[in-house]
Every structure is written in structure tokens, then in C-alpha cells.
A and B are shown apart, each in its own frame.
Chain A
Amino acid sequence: MKKNRKRASCFLAIAALSISVLLTGCAGKQKEDKGDKLNVMTSFYPVYDFTLKVGGDKVNVKNMVPSGTEPHEWEPGTRDIASLEESNVFIYSGAGMEHWTEDVLKSLGNKNLIVVEASTGITLKEGHEEEGEAHKEEDKEHDHGEFDPHVWLDPQNAKKEMENIKEGLVKADPVNKDYYEANYKTYAEKFDKLDQSFRDTLHPLQNKSIVVSHEAYGYLCAAYGLTQVGIEGLTPDSEPDPARMAEVIDFVKENKVKTIFFEELVSPKVAEAIAKETGAKIQVLSPVEGLSDQEVKDGEDYFSVMEKNLVAIKDALE
């Protein structure tokens, strides 16, 4: 009697499982009607934003890294790869930011996919060697390689990325070439304006050192003559070593740094510990690697976030 009941419940469990698998399988197959627009997949936020701006209403853009997720940590899931198979264009920033692209692209069956590495043609900066070394042991998975991938933080580089994206879209959809060109032109002016306002605001300031939670701002600093002191190296989220923390604390005290910058998508614990020790305050400085849900709701984009960054840096250095 007991045995029978056991067998019955076992059977029921298996049946329930298989039915649910079948159901989800069916739901996944329903395709939405995409019309004759170009289907574009982008890796993470900045290239997504630039593609939206150039592509306008001629493209369907789908971003892979969801909002609120730190892209250094992220890897594509099976569904992302499936949608890559159905896309016309794939755009990524490159320079070692998306370590998974090579493997994923090799495994694709989609031979017509146009791949754009948006950072092509930008002079890359080498990553901080000392820090890079320490990271390699900690997290082999998100090894950045030898270059600093955060190119888009210099508006001129961002403009170059958008240009590369435009070229890619034109290649995939030559009919709408004029449309893409016109959009690019509009935003190219905006990038120049942003660049100019960074220059005008930061140039007169005496103080040039910012303390940041991870050294993502190399291109930004190089463009405007700033220096960054990073609590951690190029990748966020590894455990800091105490010697480095002591160094940063001494630096903050000696140079009377008012503000420790941290990133929204990374835990502020370490920045808080240093701020507490030195009496500095903590403040968000976005590396524009991704927006939070709230920022998406508020309609923020690359330009608005960079303008906020400018205000934050100005406050910290004045």
C-alpha cells in the first residue's frame, strides 16, 4: 500500500515536471512580429544607447546585459545566444570588456551576422599593470587582458564608437544610409559640446586628483588632465588588500580629498570604510557601464549621466 502510494507520487512528480517543460517550451517559441526593421543586439549600455540614437526608428535594438547588472560579471545565457542567431547586427564595445564575445561568435551558426567592435580605431590605454596582476589570481573569468576597456568615458572616444556603429548599420541596411548619417551628425555635435563643457569646467580647477572605487576613468582623466587613485584596479568587486587601503587612506588625508567616488552597480562597502576613516563623503561617479532601473525610468542616457559626473567631479575638486 505504502509502496504504491510512493510510486504514484513519484509518477506524478515526473509528469508535472515534463508538462511544465513542454509548456515553457511552447511559450518560448512564440515569436513577436518584428516587421522589416533591422534587428540589432548590443552587448551593454553605452553601445546600446549609441545604437538607439543612430538607429532611431529603423532598428530594433536589444541589449544583452540587463539594467542594474554590473557588466564585468555578466555572461550571455542561452536565450541571448538564440536571439543572436536571429539578429542582423551585433555590436559590442570591445577592447577586452566583453571577454565572452570571441567564444560566442565562434559558436554561432548565423553567417550573415554583421559584427561591430565599436572601439575599433580608438587608441587604447594599457591597464594598470600592478593592479591587473593582483586581479588575475582572484578572478580569472573577468580578466580584462592588457587594455583598459572603459573607452567611452572620453566623449571623443564615445563619438568614435558611435561612428563605428553607424558604419555597421549602413553596411547592414544601405537603403537608410542618409537617415543614419543624419542622426550621427546630430549626436556628433552633442559629443563635441559635452567634451567642451568638461574642458571648460575642469581646466581652471587647481586640484586634479580623484579617488575612485575602481580605475575605470583612465580615458576621462587622460582627456582632461586628471589623475585617478583607485581603491581597486580595473575590475570592481574583488576583496581589497589592507596595504592598498592604507595607501589610499594616507593619500586622502595628505591631499585633503573631500570625496570618495563609488559606482552605483558595485557595493560601496570599501568606499564607505575609507570615507569613515578619513571624514570624506562618498558620492556616485558613474562609469556609464549600465543604468539602474530608476535611471531608466527617469529617461537618463549617456549624456545626462556624463553631465552629472561632471558636476560631481567639479564639486569634489573645488
Chain B
Amino acid sequence: MEIFNYGFMQRAFLVGILLATVIPCIGVVIVLKRLSMIGDALSHTSLAGVAAGLILGINPVASAAAACIIAAFGIEAIRRKLPRYSEMSIAIMMSAGIGLAGVLSGFVKNSANFNSFLFGSIVAISDMEMYLVIGVSAVVLLVFLLLYKELFYMALDERSARLAGVPVKQVNFIFTILTAAVISIAARTVGALIVSSMMVIPVACAMQFGKNYKQTVIYAISFDVVFMIAGLFFAYYFGLKPGGTIVLVGVLSLLLIFTGKKVLGGKG
């Protein structure tokens, strides 16, 4: 097929499918913990990290990851202070991230660098980014499988997880770092725009079919991979911007699932 003749498309498919596998693993837990917007908050703070890195002369990918990790722990800390309003912690962190990114970007001398982070693009991925995605994906998948049961308990209800003997604090710590790592690398490669939708929309679709946690995880991954592949194909053959296309494919599918379910449900 013509689309696979190009190296940049091969890389886009590889990186896209890897991220589409890993992101829903994090996404399921996040949605169940009522933290759906965390992707947005962290990708915005990662921009603040990029700006800080460029100003201080540190590798911006590293400083973005650091900022993400700090922000993720910040969200956890605020969430514990305001347990009944966990979405507020995200709003606070997101505002802090946007504010910081805005102010710091004013001090960045070479705006070209900063913009390349703002407009991360799946069709222009460098070797370093590709290896980073492969590495991070492998680690996240491994940890997700190892802590599968613990994360499941915690996602449903932290208190009963604690009673069941899950070391909630430690697991939360590891999960927060994983979330931050995935979001910062995904924001860099595919753009801040689509990270959070890749995290939430497939999970929303999967929840329409999944009868239990395991099914939901598997469906969510399958949906995300399909969205990614379909989005890249549409973008290539219709000359569309890939980031937005991938998001829209997901949203449309979710709408179709809703209406389809309603029509079928009405008959039955």
C-alpha cells in the first residue's frame, strides 16, 4: 500500500499504536478515579516545564517530564485535601500550568523550540522520540500488568482497597509517575491536543460494552488502536491534519455507539 511506502508514516503508525495501547491503560484507572481531565492539566503543565527547561538550558523533554511529575503529585495532594471535589484539584493545577507556561514563554529566547513542543506532530517524529515512546510504553505496560489487581481495587474505591491490604500510598505514587511520564512523552510526540482525548474517549466507548474491568480495559485499548489507525488513514487520504482527525474519529464513534445502543435498545 502506498501509505506504507513513506518512512514518516511507518513511524507514525508505530508510535501511534504504541501510545494507543498504553494510554487507555492509564485512562481506565483515571476515569474511574473521576480524574478525566488530568490529561489536559498535565499536558499544559508540561509546556511550562518545556519553557523552564529552555530558559535554564536543560533538556526540555526532561524538564517537561519533571514538571508533569510535580504537577501530578500536586493534584494528588490537593485531591487529598478536598476529597469530595477531586476535579477541583485538576482545575487548580491546570490554571497554574497555563499561567506558568504563559509567563515563562515570554522569557524563552528562541521561540522555534517552544513552538515545536506546542505543535508536537505525529507525522514528524525524530528517532530519539521514537525510542523514548518505545521505552516508556514498555515500562508502563509491564507495571500495569504487575499491579493489575492493585490498580483495579484502587480505581474502584480507595478505602476498600486499603482494607483489602493494598499499599495504596505506594501504588498511587507509582501510578502518578507513570501517568506523568506517559502524558509528557505523548504531548511531545502527538501533541497536547490529542493526549487527553486518547485517554478518555476510548474508555467512554469501552464502558458501553465492557461488562467488567478486564473487558473494559481490553475494549478501550482496541478502540484506541482502531481510532489511531483509522485517523491516520483518513488524514493521509483526505489531506487532513492528523491530530484533529484522530480525535474526531473517536468522538464520532462514541456518538455512533450511543445512537446505535439507543436504537437497538428501543427495539429490544
List residues of A whose CB falls within 8 A of some B CB: 68-70, 73, 134, 138, 237-246, 249, 263-270, 272-274, 276-277, 292-293
Tell me if B172 is interfacial: C-beta within 8 Å of chain A.
Answer: no
Q: How far is the CA of A272 from the CA of B115 in the complex (A)?
A: 15
Is the pair B119, A239 in contact by a Cβ cutoff of 8 Å?
yes
B77 part of interface (Cβ distance < 8 Å): no
Once A270-B124, A273-B125 are accepted as A-B contacts, the answer to whether A242 and B7 lie under 8 Å apart by CB is no
Contact sample, A vs B, 18 pairs, CB 8 Å cutoff? A68-B110, A69-B111, A134-B241, A237-B115, A238-B119, A239-B243, A240-B123, A241-B241, A241-B242, A242-B242, A245-B6, A245-B123, A246-B6, A246-B236, A266-B115, A267-B115, A267-B116, A293-B109
- Chain B positions 105-132 with a Cβ under 8 Å from a chain A Cβ: 109-113, 115-116, 119, 121, 123-126
Give every chain A residue within 8 A of B195 (Cβ-Cβ).
none
Identify the 3 closest CB pairs spanning chains A and B, nearest first: A267-B116, A243-B239, A273-B124
Complex Cα distance, B234 from A242, in Å, reads 10
> B7 contacts A244, CB within 8 Å?
no
**A residues less than 8 Å from B240 (CB atoms):** 241
If A241-B235, A269-B126 touch, whether A249 touches B6 (CB-CB below 8 Å) is: yes
- Flag if B126 contacts A243 (CB, 8 Å): no
Query: With A270-B121, A277-B8 in contact, is A242–B112 under 8 Å at CB?
Result: no
B188 → A minimal CB distance (Å): 11
Asked whether B236 lies within 8 Å of A239 as measured between CB atoms, the reply is no
Q: How far is the CA of A263 from the CA of B116 in the complex (A)?
A: 13
Residue from B110, B112, B238 in contact with A243 in the complex, judged by beta carbons closer than 8 Å: B238
Chain B residue with minimal CB distance to A243? B239
Residue numbers in B under 8 Å from A272 (CB-CB): 124, 126
Flag if A70 contacts B112 (CB, 8 Å).
Answer: yes
Inter-chain CA distance A147–B242, complex, in Å, is 27
Query: What is the CB-to-nearest-CB distance from A86 to chain B, in angstroms, rounded to a whole number?
Result: 22
The smallest C-beta distance from B244 to any residue of chain A, in angstroms, reads 8
In the complex, how many residues of chain B place their beta carbon closer than 8 angstroms to a beta carbon of chain A? Answer: 29
A242-B115 contact in complex given A273-B124, A277-B7, A293-B109, C-beta closer than 8 Å:
no
Q: Which of A243, A263, A265, A292 contacts B236 (CB 8 A)?
A: A243
Q: Does B12 contact A (CB under 8 A)?
A: yes
Partner of A70, one of B6, B111, B236: B111
- The answer, yes or no, to whether B232 is at the interface (CB within 8 Å) is yes
Contact present for A265 and B111 (CB under 8 Å):
yes
> Does B248 have its Cβ within 8 Å of any Cβ on chain A?
no
* CB–CB B110/A245 < 8 A: no
**A240-B123, A242-B123, A272-B124 given. 19 additional CB < 8 A pairs?**
A68-B110, A69-B111, A70-B112, A138-B241, A239-B119, A241-B240, A242-B235, A242-B242, A245-B124, A246-B6, A267-B112, A267-B113, A268-B112, A269-B116, A270-B121, A273-B123, A274-B8, A277-B7, A293-B109
What's the nearest-Cβ distance from chain A to residue B59, in Å? 16
B191 at the interface (CB under 8 A from A): yes
- Residues of chain A within 8 A (CB-CB) of B125 are 273
Of listed A138, A246, A268, A292, residue having the most chain B CB within 10 A:
A246
Pair B115/A243 contact, Cβ less than 8 Å: no
B1-29: which have CB < 8 Å to A? 6-9, 12
Q: Which residue of A68, A138, A239, A272 has the most chain B CB atoms within 10 A of its CB atom? A: A239
Given contacts A138-B241, A242-B12, A273-B125, contact A264 B112 (CB under 8 A): yes
* Chain A residues in 8 Å Cβ range of B236: 242-243, 246
Least CB separation from B8: chain A residue? A273
Determine how close the nearest CB of chain B comes to the CB of A247; give it in whole angstroms: 9
- List chain B residues, Cβ under 8 A from A270: 121, 123-124
Contact A277 B124 (CB under 8 A): no
- Cβ 8 A contact of B121, one of A239, A243, A277: A239
B116 pairs with A242, CB closer than 8 A:
no
Nearest to A274 among chain B residues (CB) is: B8
Asked if B124 and A269 make an inter-chain contact with CB atoms under 8 angstroms apart, the answer reads yes
Question: Which residues does chain A contribute within 8 Å of B242, judged by CB atoms?
Answer: 239, 241-242
Given contacts A269-B124, A272-B126, A273-B123, contact A245 B8 (CB under 8 A): yes
* Chain A residue at minimal CB-CB distance from B109: A68
B residues within 8 A CB of A237? Answer: 115, 119
Does B241 lie within 8 Å of A239, measured CB to CB? yes
User: B239 contacts which chain A residues (CB < 8 A)?
Assistant: 241, 243-244
Q: With a CB–CB cut-off of 8 A, which chain A residues contact B9?
A: 242, 246
Interface string of B77-119 (1 = CB under 8 A from A): 0000000000000000000000000000000011111011001
> Could you tell me the distance between the alpha carbons of A70 and B105 in the complex, rounded to whole angstroms?
13
Q: Which residue of B lies closest to A292 (CB)?
A: B110
* Min CB gap A51→B, angstroms: 23
Expressed in whole angstroms, the minimum distance between the Cβ of A166 and any Cβ of chain B is 31
- Which of chain A's residues has its CB closest to B116's CB? A267
Q: Which residue of B lies closest to A263 (CB)?
A: B112
Taking CB as reference atom, which chain B residue is nearest A267? B116
